[in-house]
Structure 1
Amino acid sequence: MDNTTRSERSRNLVIQAALTIIARDGAGKLTLDAIAREAGISKGGLMHQFRSKGAVLQALLEHQVEYFEKFSGDYMANDGAASPEPHLTTQIEVAREAISQPQSVAFAILGAIGEEPGLLSMFRDIDASKLAAIKAEAADPEMATLRWMAARGLLLSALFGLCPLSDEEREQLFDHLRDSKRWETLARAAKKRSTKK
């Protein structure tokens, strides 16, 4: 096994160990010693890959970003391109997919943000670019933004365990948010009402 492959394998072991610790014990128990023990590697080997706990937290977030960027690209190529608003439809599906992830992923993200609030800037930059693409393709940029933010609200309320909806109700709302024709009809009806006044 070459050094690059060994290094990537060690990196993945560390990420999976960190996810396991956060899910099982909570973000407060995530230490370099605990990660090394869980991953079955020496602390020195861990620190060769990650110099600090912050570096591990950043790797967790980057791991999630990579996963969802791949999901997004695959969805856009296969299903989203047929939509009149492909970027919006894709991002709604990304939110739906994020809910289906194991809770350990959500805890990892929350744990990382709690430990290193500055890591949020990575998500703000990504979200700003996603929103710009959504607005650029939309006939009604405000409505598209509202739909995207509603999907994000469903995601966040589920991740925080605050969503009062059943899984079926939440899925139905995601379907409604994706349905561009429904929103076009609502926009036309609202416009018609405003011109009658």
Structure 2
Amino acid sequence: MGRTRVIDQDQLLDAAEAVVARDGAAKLTLESVAAQAGVSKASVVYDHKTKQALVEALVRRALERDNAFNRAAADRLGDVDARVVRGRIAAAADPLPPPQRAVALSLCAALAQDAGLRQAMQANQAAVIAALQRDATQPRGALVAYLALEGLKLLESLDFHTFAKRDRDRLLREIEALVDHPPQVPAAPAAVSRRRR
């Protein structure tokens, strides 16, 4: 007969997120997660053999949650042009609360140190970029808007800058305007050759 699970996967990852928010990803251990969850270390090891496996599970879940949150926001918009990027802009109306910011910041540090984790993020970003360009009448505008949006979110997630709500709301409206009206780039100047005499 198989062993009965004491704690489900989400509860365990919730405990890991709490540890990361409080102590940072560098201090995440199987023991600290077990203590936070109120279970034995063996219960944590049963699902995640190493700290690295636990961090990978946290990153995968964060990506899945983020994608689901953004899809739901896009679905609420109904049948509109550039729904993928507009959904992401709508979803960004409420910035991450401080505990989730702390987790995002710590996970970014873990991503910077692990090529395998970065590959999951890179694949996700490639899929999002392809989807938002496929879905828009102005693919370039959708891409420029997405890049502006991600820059705003990254500044906040890394705790580099926080905009006042009024300013942030205006920025989101301006970013959305880029979807339909991408910036016009002047033609590159002709190369000028200089000859030495």
User: What band does the TM-score fall into relative to the shorter chain?
Assistant: 0.7 to 0.9
Q: Against the structure 1 CA distance between its residues 104 and 110, is the aligned structure 2 distance closer, same or farther, given a 3 Å change threshold?
A: same
Segment of structure 1 superposing worse, 30-39 or 110-119: 110-119
When normalised by structure 2's length, the TM-score is 0.79
Q: Against the structure 1 CA distance between its residues 170 and 74, is the aligned structure 2 distance closer, same or farther, given a 3 Å change threshold?
A: same
Output one character per residue of 1:86-119: Cα deviation in whole Å (capped at 9) or x when no partner.
0111222344456347323313422431453420
Output one character per residue of 1:73-96: Cα deviation in whole Å (capped at 9) or x when no partner.
2222222x3432101112223444
**Equivalent in the alignment of 2:9:** 11
Q: Which amino acid aligns with 2:58?
A: L
Q: Which amino acid aligns with 2:118?
A: L
Give the conservation status (yes or no) of the 8 Å contact 1:14–1:35.
yes
Aligned pair count?
185
Give the conservation status (yes or no) of the 8 Å contact 1:60–1:108.
no
Q: Tell me the distance in 2 between the aligned counterparts of 1:164 and 1:98.
A: 9
**Equivalent in the alignment of 1:99:** 96
Q: Tell me the distance in 1 between the aligned counterparts of 2:3 and 2:75.
A: 34
Instruction: Please state if 1:124 is matched with 2:122.
Output: yes
Q: For 1:1-197, list aligned pairs within 5 A.
A: 6=5, 9-79=7-77, 81-97=78-94, 99-100=96-97, 102-163=100-161, 165-179=163-177, 183-184=180-181, 190=184
Please say which structure displays the higher CA radius of gyration: 2
Q: Which amino acid aligns with 2:160?
A: L
Q: Tell me the distance in 2 between the aligned counterparts of 1:65 and 1:135.
A: 20
Secondary structure of 1:99's counterpart equals coil
Q: Which amino acid aligns with 1:93?
A: A
Q: Tell me the distance in 2 between the aligned counterparts of 1:152 and 1:116.
A: 21
Give the conservation status (yes or no) of the 8 Å contact 1:138–1:144.
yes
Output one character per residue of 1:35-93: Cα deviation in whole Å (capped at 9) or x when no partner.
111111111111001111111111111211221222122222222x3432101112223
Return the offset for 1:123.
Answer: 1.4
State, as a whole percentage, how many aligned pairs show the same letter.
23
Output one character per residue of 1:109-153: Cα deviation in whole Å (capped at 9) or x when no partner.
224314534201111111111111222233332222111000000
Give the conservation status (yes or no) of the 8 Å contact 2:70–2:87.
yes
Q: Against the structure 1 CA distance between its residues 95 and 123, is the aligned structure 2 distance closer, same or farther, given a 3 Å change threshold?
A: farther
Q: Which amino acid aligns with 1:86?
A: R
Q: Against the structure 1 CA distance between its residues 114 and 58, is the aligned structure 2 distance closer, same or farther, given a 3 Å change threshold?
A: same
Give the conservation status (yes or no) of the 8 Å contact 2:31–2:41.
yes
Unmatched tracts of structure 1, length 5 or more: none
